[in-house]
Amino acid sequence: MSKELLKFRITELLPTATFDDSGEWLNVELTAAEWPTLAGALCKDSHLALDYMFCLTCIDWKTHLTMVYHMTSTSFRHSVVVKVKLDRDKPEVVSVSKCWRTAEFHEREVYEMFGVNFLHHPDLRLLILPDGWEGKNPLRKDFEDPINMIRL
Amino acid sequence: MYRETEILQQTSPGIIGETGEFTINVGPQHPATHGVLHLVITLSGETIKKVEPHLGYIHRSIEKMCESLNYRQFIYVTSRMDYLSAHINNHACALCVEKGLQIEVPPRAQVIRILMDELTRVASHELWWGAMAMDLGAFTPFFHAFRERESINEIMEETCGARLTMNYIAPGGVVQDLHPDFQRRVKEFLKLYKRKIHEYDELVTGNIIFQNRMKGIGMLSAKDAISYGVTGPAARGSNVSSDIRKIQPYEIYDKLEFDEVLETGCDSFARYMVRIREMQQSIRIIEQLIDNIPEGDFQAKTKAVLKLPKGEFYTRVETARGELGVYIVSEGGTTPYRIKFRSPGFSNLSVLDHIARGSKIGDLVAMMGTLDLVIPDIDR
């Protein structure tokens, strides 16, 4: 599907979505409240069939956090990028691990690295960081560790 | 307190509750995990109920480190992610920087990069094959695999100056021209490889004990493979077309003749066969290019200090283990604002619990082996 058609179809599913098609793939910008309904539709809709999530990550913009989901369709080969803006002090978004199983691990990584709380996640625990590591999120921009310096 | 001791205390072998289930630790120091991977396995008798990976023993925070390195420097840190396809990691990063700066890479550099990529892929699969057979109790194949791998490493050493972490790619091309002996050495390697390849099938593939241990083990349906984000040979063993070289060709892959290897078995043996057949496809690519390396520059003219324009850039590359994604968010400076490496091993590991449930503990190694996990690639 071309970018125009994708845009048209996603607008049908969620009229309030805003788009940015200047990049390589179509970017869809949403709020955290809109995301769960659209996520379910994106993976199940027979015209979109975005069944493969190839990247899930987060960006710290110092004023807010942005969740970035890269999805592609293995049958039609079109891709969509979804961006969800989150509050930096209390970041919360619904987990999409039911739609894409790969999200389960990736969300655990984002949880510990950025402190995003994924609601309804089946097993939201630390994955990479040692147990007892709470409150500090290494990939946030204001993280400083004087003992184990990461910045070069 | 170190985490490992804590977990070992919590999960020391013992029967939990009335169900008779108990937990054991595989790793972080275990010969079959090929690195510091720690699996906490819940067993009922000999049957696996749950596999829980504990990561982070070799986490170096490469993503954070890259935020303070400039666009020429950060490429070389990525050699340390998947050290068996270091060259392909470098390639992915260079492609992403080139995409942002819209640099046209000279044809000679493109061909050199692909030749090195495919040599790396063969070397990586060789090591996997030897290690895989060793995990299942056959020691001889390891030496056979290393014999061929060694000649690839020597070729790499001659041209790149290093055997494993090649660091041969720079934005715009490659760091230096090929060694004058490169073509001769590669042709010698091709001859050697063709003379020896039948040994692989005679030693391992056709072995009835090996086949009995691999067939019907670790079943992964195509739908689950896609949902779990499994890529590379592990996905292609479940008949999922996932070769980025075919889906989103980069460099001159679209002009080359090679097949995407697909198997329909969905089990460990299918994943094994994909890699064996993929080595032959890589050899086919090398044969097409080795006599056709174009003359000209090996590097495009670039500025000394690279500044990516404001925006987001994503490249996908097929490494020996699957899809590597490099996602750069730039604010227009000399260093990336945020960088994310979507490593193939991380997603491939996440499926282990799914495929291992219900099988016997003895088969775990046969399943893990065919996922071809490289731990620094998972942890980053």
Query: Could you report the predicted ipTM of this complex, rounded to two decimals?
Result: 0.88
Q: Tally the domains of chain A.
A: 1
pLDDT of residue B145 exceeding 80? yes
Give the distance from residue B339's alpha carbon to the nearest chain A alpha carbon, in angstroms. Answer: 9
Overall size of chain A counted in residues = 152
pLDDT of residue B114 exceeding 70? yes
Whether A61 is covered by a domain: the verdict is yes
CA dist B49 to B22, B133, B359, Å?
10, 26, 8
Q: Which residues of A touch B (CB under 8 A)?
A: 23-25, 51-55, 57, 59-60, 68, 70, 74, 77, 100-102, 104-106, 109, 127-132, 138-139, 143, 150-152
Whether A38 is covered by a domain: the verdict is yes
**B194 contacts chain A (CB < 8 A):** no
Blockwise average pLDDT, block size 10, chain A, 152 residues: 79 81 84 85 82 90 90 88 89 88 90 89 86 80 75 64
Rounded to whole angstroms, how far apart are CA atoms B313 and B57?
Answer: 30
pTM for the model: 0.86
Give the distance from residue A131's alpha carbon to the nearest chain B alpha carbon, in angstroms. Answer: 6
Question: What secondary structure, in 3-state letters, does A76-138 show?
Answer: CCCEEEEEEEEECCCCEEECCCCCCCCHHHHHHHHHHHHCCEEECCCCCCCCCCCCCCCCCCC
**B346 contacts chain A (CB < 8 A):** yes
The average pLDDT across B319-348 equals 90
Q: Is the peptide bond before A138 cis (omega within 30 degrees of 0)?
A: no
The average pLDDT across B171-188 equals 89
**B227 contacts chain A (CB < 8 A):** yes
pLDDT value of position B324: 92
Whether A66 is covered by a domain: the verdict is yes
Helix (H) or strand (E) holding A5: helix A3-13
**B67 contacts chain A (CB < 8 A):** yes
Give residue B57's pLDDT band: very low, low, confident or very high (50, 70, 90). confident
Task: Determine, for residues A152 and B247 on separate chains, whether the beta-carbon distance falls below 8 Å.
Answer: no
Q: Letter for the amino acid at A113?
A: M
Q: A65 CB contacts (<8 Å, ≥6 apart)? A: A58, A59, A85, A86, A87, A88, A91, A114, A116
Q: Residue A151: list chain B partners with CB under 8 A.
A: 64-65, 67-68
Give residue B274's pLDDT band: very low, low, confident or very high (50, 70, 90). very high
Q: Letter for the amino acid at B5?
A: T
Q: B315 CB contacts (<8 Å, ≥6 apart)? A: B92, B95, B96, B99, B250, B325, B326
Instruction: Give per-residue pLDDT as tens, B9-27.
Output: 454 555 555 667 888 888 7
Backbone phi and psi for residue B191, each to the nearest 5 degrees, phi listed first: -65, -45
Point out the least confidently predicted range of A38-52, B89-103, B154-168, B221-235.
A38-52
Task: Determine, for residues A151 and B311 on separate chains, whether the beta-carbon distance falls below 8 Å.
Answer: no
B29 compared with B312, residue with greater pLDDT:
B312
pLDDT value of position B1: 35
- The SS3 call for residue A19 is strand
Task: Determine, for residues B229 and A57 on separate chains, whether the beta-carbon distance falls below 8 Å.
Answer: no
pLDDT value of position B2: 45
Rounded to whole angstroms, how far apart are CA atoms B321 and B127?
Answer: 12
Whether A26 is covered by a domain: the verdict is yes
Q: What domains are defined for chain B?
A: 3-54 (no CATH), 62-379 (1.10.645.10)
Rounded to whole angstroms, how far apart are CA atoms B299 and B139?
Answer: 43
Q: Residue A60: list chain B partners with CB under 8 A.
A: 338
A3 compared with B259, residue with greater pLDDT:
B259
pLDDT value of position A76: 86
- Residue to mutate among B57, B220, B314, with most A CBs inside 10 A, is B314
Give the distance from residue A60's alpha carbon to the nearest chain B alpha carbon, in angstroms. Answer: 8
Instruction: Give per-residue pLDDT as tens, B65-111.
Output: 888 888 888 888 888 888 888 899 999 999 999 988 888 899 999 99
pLDDT value of position A58: 92
Rounded to whole angstroms, how far apart are CA atoms B266 and B270?
Answer: 6
Residue A64's CATH number: 3.30.460.80
pLDDT value of position A74: 87
Whether A87 is covered by a domain: the verdict is yes
pLDDT of residue B303 exceeding 60? yes
- Residue to mutate among B342, B352, B377, with most A CBs inside 10 A, is B342
In degrees, rounded to 5, the angle at the alpha carbon of residue B68 between the alpha carbons of residues B64 and B70 is 125
Task: Determine, for residues A150 and B61 on separate chains, whether the beta-carbon distance falls below 8 Å.
Answer: yes
pLDDT value of position B17: 58
Mean of per-residue pLDDT scores for chain B: 86
Task: Determine, for residues B241 and A74 on separate chains, whether the beta-carbon distance falls below 8 Å.
Answer: yes
User: How many A×B Cβ pairs under 8 Å?
Assistant: 88
Chain centroid, CA B339 distance in Å: 20
Structure tokens at B49: 């109920």
- Structural domain for A50, as ranges: 3-91
pLDDT of residue B195 exceeding 70? yes
**B189 contacts chain A (CB < 8 A):** no
Task: Determine, for residues B354 and A151 on separate chains, whether the beta-carbon distance falls below 8 Å.
Answer: no
Cα distance from N-terminal residue to C-terminal residue, chain B: 22
pLDDT of residue B201 exceeding 80? yes
Q: Residue A127: list chain B partners with CB under 8 A.
A: 55-56
Task: Determine, for residues B224 and A24 on separate chains, whether the beta-carbon distance falls below 8 Å.
Answer: no
Whether A132 is covered by a domain: the verdict is no
Q: Letter for the amino acid at A81?
A: V
Q: Residue A130: list chain B partners with CB under 8 A.
A: 2-3, 56
Report which of B136, B135, B163, B162 is spatially closest to residue B150, judged by C-alpha positions: B163
Rounded to whole angstroms, how far apart are CA atoms B101 and A15?
Answer: 35
